[in-house]
Amino acid sequence: MPDKSTTSEAPAATDTTPAQEIPGTPRKIYSIVKYGDPILEKPAATISKFDAELEELAEDMFATMYAAQGIGLAAPQIGKSIRIAVVDVTSGKNPEAKIVLVNPQIIAGEGEKREEKAACRFPDFGATWCARNSSR
């Protein structure tokens, strides 16, 4: 048996469970695409497979959304023309409240809702518009 203190061999991996994200692991923060960018106007591609790469993207999207102080973010808003969005109305306070939407569709709509939170792609504009129009 080799002396473990002098061997350069890595120990054999015995754990076959998938790696879990370590809390505090740095995430990629994307730039937010602004109003007027063509990617916001074209239909995004449908997702057919939710794999590890897409899971990583979703976590990066949460980090980007939190950095922008938002509660929702869609992939086109970070320059990726695919149908995925993330939502967390707790702004990161409750990890169990995180929602990932893949290929979302609006199937019904009713009523009207106004909110004073500006959209990430409309910095300053949303708050200004809401302030001017909140009395309506």
Query: pLDDT for 43-72, tens place per residue?
Result: 999 999 999 999 999 999 999 999 999 999
The band of 41, judged by pLDDT with boundaries at 50, 70 and 90, is very high
Give residue 20's pLDDT.
40
Q: How far is CA 34 from CA 42, 83, 91, 105, 117, in A?
A: 14, 18, 21, 23, 16
- Six-digit token string for 11: 């120990």
- Compute the Cα dihedral for 47, 93, 21, 79 and give only its sign: positive
Q: What residues does 101 pair with on adjacent strands?
A: 85
27-56 mean pLDDT = 95
Mean pLDDT of 96-123: 79
For 23, 112, 135, the CA distances from 115, given in Å and listed in that order, are 32, 10, 12
Residue 120: predicted pLDDT: 60
Which residue has better confidence, 18 or 127?
Answer: 127
- Model confidence at 17: pLDDT above 70: no
pTM across the whole model = 0.65
Residue 87: name the closest of 71, 103, 74, 76 by CA.
Answer: 71
Q: How far apart are CA 43 and CA 83, in angstroms?
A: 9
Cα-Cα-Cα-Cα dihedral of 112, 115, 121, 126, to 10°? Answer: 110
